[in-house]
Amino acid sequence: MVPKTEKIWMDGKFVDWDNAKVHILTHSLHYGLAVFEGIRCYKTEEGPAVFRLKDHVERLFKSAHIFTLKIPFSEEEIFEAIKETIRVNKIDSCYIRPIVYVGYGNMGLYPKNNPIQVAIAVWSWGAYLGEEGLQRGIKVKTSSFIRNHVNSNMSRGKVAGYYVNSQLAKIEAISCGFDEAVLLDTEGYVSEGSGENIFLIRNGYLKTTPLTSILEGITRDSVITIAKDLGIDVKEERFTRDELYISDEAFFTGTAAEITPIREVDGRSIGQGSRGPITEKIQSLFFDIVKGKASKYKHWLDYV
């Protein structure tokens, strides 16, 4: 169960957690058109700080733009509402879920006459793929489900409907005894995890999927920056599943997943079959950054 907090922001007002309800004929619930964000706020010595808040709010508005949803608030209003939701709930580390959805009104596939509504919830969310996964790495299965074609679902938009494909992959992976799925794109190259971007490391350089069939991850972008700062070469190039099999190290990135090492893919161990040294170095700097311990990256933090 999601651990409750006190209040949820709904269309400009705070509502008690238990009363944060919508009508059963809410359009998005039936047809999957809702854009959302996943953001984390970390406890730091100077109080709670949100990681790359501006970038997340911008992506929310870009997602809405792609799907022609007109958000009835400005970017500044959503930015402030997120910070206010954290303050009101007196929480110093949390996951933040803003969602823009098509409300109750007409049914049928033309959403343009329905109200566009916005909600922001926060709750405490620990390691997405387990604390042990962060330390030791996880077991991944190449999914039998293919990532949506670039002209099917608009991968640049973080839209609810995108995640039906992800859930098919995740359910299959778990039922086969794995921790997570990696999906291939329509041409057979590696795209991303069900809710994460993916990186591999070979001969000291980092490789990650180019921004074609994947979500433009903010953690992915952070890792590229961190790696370059550490003097590690980064290639944004497509790669095959067998390149993953013979990589020295691999990891997933995402707001929820943070930086989760991959220790096995389809029954083949990756490197030593545990978290690799370069992954550990990047992961450790990432956690220092989000916890406000790396002054060079303070501009990525927004104090609540």
CA distance linking residue 289 with residue 44, whole number of Å: 10
Q: Report the amino acid identity of residue 84.
A: E
Catalytic residue among 158, 207, 281, 291: 158
> Residue 256 Cβ, how far from ligand PPE at the closest point, in Å?
3
Contacts with 280 (C-beta within 8 Å, 6 or more apart), sequence order: 261
Between 55 and 280, name the residue whose CB sits nearer to ligand PPE: 55
Between 107 and 164, name the residue whose CB sits nearer to ligand PPE: 164
C-alpha of 204 from chain center:
26
> Residue 12 Cβ, how far from ligand PPE at the closest point, in Å?
24
Between 9 and 128, name the residue whose CB sits nearer to ligand PPE: 128
The DSSP call for residue 149 is: P
Between 41 and 114, name the residue whose CB sits nearer to ligand PPE: 41
Cα-flanking dihedrals φ and ψ of residue 278, to 5°? Answer: -75, -40
Residue among 210, 218, 273, 259 at smallest CA distance from 236 = 210
Between 114 and 145, name the residue whose CB sits nearer to ligand PPE: 145
Instruction: Specify which residues 97 forms β-bridges with.
Output: 121
Q: Do the beta carbons of residue 71 and residue 98 sit within 8 Å?
A: no
Query: Which positions touch ligand PPE (CB under 6 A)?
Result: 38, 166, 192, 195-197, 215, 217-220, 253-257
Contacts with 282 (C-beta within 8 Å, 6 or more apart), sequence order: 223, 226, 227, 230, 232, 251, 259
Give the residue nearest to ligand PPE (CB).
38
The encoded tokens of residue 176 equal: 């086969």
* 3-state SS, residue 159: strand
Between 137 and 157, name the residue whose CB sits nearer to ligand PPE: 157
Residue 13 among the catalytic residues? no
> Residue 108 Cβ, how far from ligand PPE at the closest point, in Å?
28
Contacts with 153 (C-beta within 8 Å, 6 or more apart), sequence order: 159, 161, 162, 165
Contacts with 29 (C-beta within 8 Å, 6 or more apart), sequence order: 22
CA distance linking residue 268 with residue 197, whole number of Å: 20
So which residues are the catalytic ones? 158
